[in-house]
Every structure is written in structure tokens, then in C-alpha cells.
Structure 1
Amino acid sequence: MTSTSSTFIAGLEVGHFTDPRRPTGCTVVLARQGAVAGVDVRGAAPGTRETDLLAPTNLVERVHGIVLAGGSAWGLEAATGAVRWLEEQGVGMPVGPARLPIVPAAVLFDLLVGDSAIRPDAEAGYRACQAASPATPAEGNVGAGAGAVVGKIFGIARAMKGGIGCASVTVDGVTVAALVACNALGDVIDHDTALPIAGARTLDGLRLLDSRRALLAGEAPRPLIAGTNTTIGVICTDAVVTKIQATRLAQMGHDGLARSINPVHTMSDGDTLFALGTGAAGKAPGMMTLGAMAAEATARAVVRAVRAAHGIDVAGLKLPSLAELGRA
């Protein structure tokens, strides 16, 4: 089993747009030739676009891109820009004389970091497409991860910087990769040690609190605005999969979130995972193996998201990174 490569998944491209005015942005995964797609929405406060199309019983089999964005529901507008860019490239599903790009999307809430009037829009989605390439994606404070924060369960002042991360697993010539923007209410957990590595901090801000143990010991969480969190991502594979299998792959990817975030899938998270299959490997190793790979890649991507992040100080809100914790 390997977990590094010089490219993402053959046939797919990833691009980020990071807004220079405040920490927010969007990320696109492009499939110019189309990719079989599925989705699983597990959090209770999701913000999504065109996910109904991906139900196994519905008509559309392949999509041409996925957009992940900050900005809460306003950020869904970034998908409009991705559709426009793909149409200009002649990419899309034939509909009479035109080609219609199919671009589902999901958003996370980052409006508490800086000026909330600044959100990803159609131009942001367009520019993310312009920046897309098959190379391994940039990680940390970029794209949909630019304004991501983790560990807000006891208030954002005790939280830490989240981000976007990517990891891949290859078994017998088949690769599964995950690209995850982690903006979780809960802590990020090292899936190998089961110990928290980023999240809610103690009152002095110098150490991790361990939210799970604090909650079970009776410490009350701070009142939350609904949906002010959310982890979103795309699981991609070069295996040959059907639409039903892509849906199952997205579902099994949530096991990786459960290993790497605690608590996860809360009433204040809109956790959503997409799955894309290009078939470029020409192999179908079976769902037992692919599901295990998806969960592993997703868990690793979450950890990489916080390891790659760097701390920020925006309008007096100081959010340290994992590397900076305890230095203050």
C-alpha cells in the first residue's frame, strides 16, 4: 500500500481559488471526460447543490466537476462559475445543440473569520477552474480550506485553524484519493493513535482540551448558530465503478471522518462526501477493498488538512495551527 503520488487521479484536475480579502475560497475537482459520481450527506445542516441528481435511481450517470466552497449557502454560487468555464471548454452532457456541465457542490460555514460579506461567487469558481491541474493539490489555508476552523464546540475563541488536505492509497494498481476541507465542530483525531491533535483548547489556550472527554465529564458546549461548521470532500478513484458503487464509496468514506473527527456528523455540521470514479485503471477490485481504501484516504486527508494549516489572526480572532499550539 502506498500513499504518495505526483498526480491526483488520472483524468481529474484540482484547482483552488483563495480570496485575498479574507480567509475564504473554493476548490474544484474537474472531470472533463466525465466521471461516475455518488454522494452521501451525513451532517444535519448541509449546504449542497445538485446532489439529488446523484441518487442511484436518477438519470444522470456522470458529472463534469465538483465544487467545494466556503461562504455557507452563498458559496454555492461558485458552482455557477465552474459550469460557465466548463461550457466554454466544450465540456458537458449533450442537450440538443448545447452541452450542459453537471457540477454538484457543497459548502462549509466560514463566515465568522473576517468580513462575512466576502464570499466565494461565480467568479471565484471560474478562477478555481482556470487554476486546475492534475498535480497533487496544495493543502492547508487554500481554497475551500482557507477559512476552515476546527474545535468550535466550546466557542470559536478556543478553536484552532483547519484547512484542506489530500491523501491517496494505492493497492494492486488501483488508487483512491480523498480531498477534504475540514471545518469540523469537533476535534481532529490521529486515526492511528486515536488521540486528538487539533481542536478545542483549554481556557489558557495552550493545550488541547479533548472535547470528547470534556463533554462526557459534564462540560457544557457553547450555544451554536446552526450549521456553522461542516467537513466536505471528494473521494476519487481510477477504479471501474457503477453509480451505485460510487454512492457506497461516498458512504464508506464517512467511516474515515468518524475515525478522524470527534464529535462528527453533529446537528451543527453539514458533513458531505462526494465520490468520483474515472475507470482509468481498468480494474474493479471490489467494494470491500475500495471501501477500506476510501475510509483510510479520508481519515488521512483530514489529518493532513490540520497539519498543513497555518495559524491566522483576523480582526482580533487568533486561531493557532497544530504546529503553533502552546507557543503563545
Structure 2
Amino acid sequence: MQPGPKNLITDVQGLKVGHAQDARLKSGTTVLTADAPLTSSVHVMGGAPGSRETDLLDPDKSAPGVDAFVLSGGSAFGLDAASGVMQGLRDMGRGFAVHTARVPIVPAAIIFDLINGGDKNWTTSPYPTLGEAALCGADATFDLGSFGAGTGANSAMLKGGTGSASLVLDNGITVGALMIANPIGAVTTPGERHFWAAPFEIDGEFGGLGPDPQSGLGRDMKSDKITAMMRQANTTIGIVATDAKLSKAQCKRMAIAAHDGIARACMPAHTPMDGDLIFSTTTGAKELAAPDLELAMIGHAASLCVARAIARAIYEATPAPNDMLPTWRAKNGV
């Protein structure tokens, strides 16, 4: 397996990602969409998720496809970003047909970034506007780090962000991940230099420093984020995607496997205070020759992409006024 040409989730042909953010607000929204509805599912492993339309993605539910996914800052307020995306999709004539009406299907998940140093004293929620702007800007290329939903994200010790990564399997199937890293846990070992995800790094995509040579790691649960916020409000959310033709049930299995990537990149992961959630989706362009075996490899590749995307999110973060925590590059003099 090797990364795709862009090392982004949009190496899955047909997918597009858009960001919109407000520097003063220190928050934003990220949208993933395609030209046709996507077979999709979801798996939640955090104890404090914030989401919308996730029930529709269970394999026994009737919704046939998703028009767009929303990842947003703003805690529960950020779920309003999906309303702006729905409006934009409606204007495009997109949505699930119900007699003469069309209803866009837009699942959403949020991170908590309400006390990160940005100005949250709005009178009207900014998130519907951010959502529609992110949809309108969706493209095959997009920025990593402090953009979109990752604009105001933080990890335990370092500024968080938006990350992505991809892999092309030996059979030609592409898998990718788009992650917003805002965990209660740390993405680096003590000292904030080496990434927990370092064993899975490819071609120096997050610094090329390799694994921490120390042993006995994982026992220090220090978190400057909790100290700064004096509360526990966190989440790692994202989307994994492939071009393999999968059912909703197979997408569910891919989402479950993908959560291994959060556990590989964040220490600790899936806590009662995190809202860890991963959507899974497929364009369905490529048939599987050996479904069970190939699905296992797709799930494994998705977990690797998730771990790498989380590390890339922190590696690519850039500083802004009133940040609570330093960026990885500032901390390491890069």
C-alpha cells in the first residue's frame, strides 16, 4: 500500500472537501460531498458525541445515500452548519426524493471549541453560513492544519487541526481519511516531539522523526488543555472513504475498524469525555473480488489513514492570536 497522489481523502475519485472558517471566531466547518449520493455508515466510540442524522446510517435504516457530511466546530451550535449545507444542496436540486419534495441527507458531527480564545459572543449563529460556504468551496484539493472544523481544535498538549491521508491497496482500491483532531488525549509522547502515530508515517508526512526511543510510555496523562480550560470537552471526529463497492453494513464495519487509528494516534482515546465518531462512505466505483478478505484490508487501511491524518492535523497546525496551546512546529523550533 502506498499513499495516493495527493495523500488526501480526495484521492478517492469523485469526493470533494471544502472549508470555511472565521479567524475571530476561531472556529469553522468542513464539508465532504460528491456529485451523487454516497452509501455510508457511522460508528461512535466516545462517551460524549455531538451529532446529527447518525441513526439514518445504521444498516437497517432506509436512507439510501448521503449527499454531504459536515464536520464542525461550535459544539452543539455547530450542528447548525448542516442547515446551511442542506440549503446549498437544495438550491442545487440535490436530495432524497419524497413525492414532489427533495430532502438532502446531511449527517454532521461537532467538536467542542467554545472556550479556545475566539470571540463566541455572536447574536446569530455563524454556522449555517459557514456550512454553506464550505459546501460551495468544495474541491479535490484542500488545506490541512488550522482550517475548517480544525481551526480552533486542541489536543492535550498542542494545538489541533484538520488532517487527511490516503492509501492505494495492491488491488487498486483507494482508501482515505479526513480527521478533525481535538482529543482530550495527547498525540505526542511526553516532550511533544514524537508522534504516537510515528510507526505508521510515510515519507516524512509529519516530520519524519520516527518513534520515541523511550520505553514505558503511556503512563503520563498530563494535559495542558484540561488545565487551560478547567473542564473536559473534547472529540476526534472524521470520515473514512473508499471507492470499493460496499453495502451500508460493510461501511459500518469499515468505520468500526477505522477507530483503531484514533487509539494508535491519541493517548488516551475513546474516553467518557471524548465524542469520538467516524463516518464511513464509498463511491462504489470498484467491485470486490473477495469481499470478506478485501473488506478486512480496507478497514485496516482506513485505520492507518486515520492515525496518519490525526498526526498530520497537529503537524500542520499554525499559530493564531490568543491560542491556548502552542503548535507542534513552534514547540519543536521548526
TM-score for the superposition, normalised by structure 1: 0.86
Q: Distance in 2 between matches of 1:257 and 1:193?
A: 14
Q: Rate the CA distance shift 1:260–1:296 in 2: closer, same or farther, 3 A.
A: same
Post-superposition offset of 1:116: 2.8
| Mapping for residues 2-81 of structure 1, pairs under 5 Å | 2-6=2-6, 7-81=10-84
How far does the alpha carbon of each residue in 1:88-133 deviate from its partner, in whole angstroms, 9 at most, with x for none? 1111111111211100000000111122335651111000011001
Instruction: Specify which of 281, 287, 293 is matched with residue 295 of structure 2.
Output: 287
Secondary structure of 2:29 counterpart: strand
What code does the residue aligned with 1:214 have? D
Q: Distance in 2 between matches of 1:44 and 1:225?
A: 15
Residues 1:302 and 2:305 aligned together: no
Partner of 1:156: none
Partner of 2:220: 214
Deviates more, 1:135-144 or 1:77-86: 135-144
Partner of 2:121: 117
Partner of 1:185: 184
Contact residue 185 and residue 268 of structure 1 kept, 8 A: yes
| Mapping for residues 72-111 of structure 1, pairs under 5 Å | 72-111=75-114
Deviates more, 1:234-243 or 1:282-291: 282-291
Q: Rate the CA distance shift 1:304–1:138 in 2: closer, same or farther, 3 A.
A: same
Partner of 1:206: none
Post-superposition offset of 1:311: 2.5
What code does the residue aligned with 2:161 have? G
Q: Distance in 2 between matches of 1:175 and 1:138?
A: 20
More strand by share: 1
Identity value in percent: 40
Contact residue 245 and residue 287 of structure 1 kept, 8 A: yes
Deviates more, 1:141-150 or 1:4-13: 4-13
Secondary structure of 2:308 counterpart: helix
Structure 2, unpaired ranges of 5+: 188-194, 207-215
Contact residue 140 and residue 306 of structure 1 kept, 8 A: yes
Give the number of equivalent residue pairs.
301
Partner of 2:331: 325
What code does the residue aligned with 1:180 have? M
Contact residue 186 and residue 211 of structure 1 kept, 8 A: no
Post-superposition offset of 1:272: 0.6
How far does the alpha carbon of each residue in 1:125-174 deviate from its partner, in whole angstroms, 9 at most, with x for none? 000011001x23210000000000000xxxxxxx3210000100101211
Residues 1:136 and 2:141 aligned together: yes
Secondary structure of 1:190 counterpart: coil
Post-superposition offset of 1:194: 9.0
Contact residue 179 and residue 238 of structure 2 kept, 8 A: yes
Question: For the aligned residues, what is the CA RMSD?
Answer: 2.4
Q: Distance in 2 between matches of 1:28 and 1:287?
A: 26
What code does the residue aligned with 1:131 have? G
Structure 1, unpaired ranges of 5+: 152-158, 199-209
Secondary structure of 1:280 counterpart: strand
What code does the residue aligned with 1:273 have? I
Contact residue 75 and residue 121 of structure 1 kept, 8 A: yes
Instruction: Specify which of 242, 246, 252 is matched with residue 241 of structure 1.
Output: 246
TM-score for the superposition, normalised by structure 2: 0.84
Q: Distance in 2 between matches of 1:124 and 1:311?
A: 21
Q: Distance in 1 between matches of 2:313 and 2:155?
A: 10
Contact residue 200 and residue 304 of structure 2 kept, 8 A: no
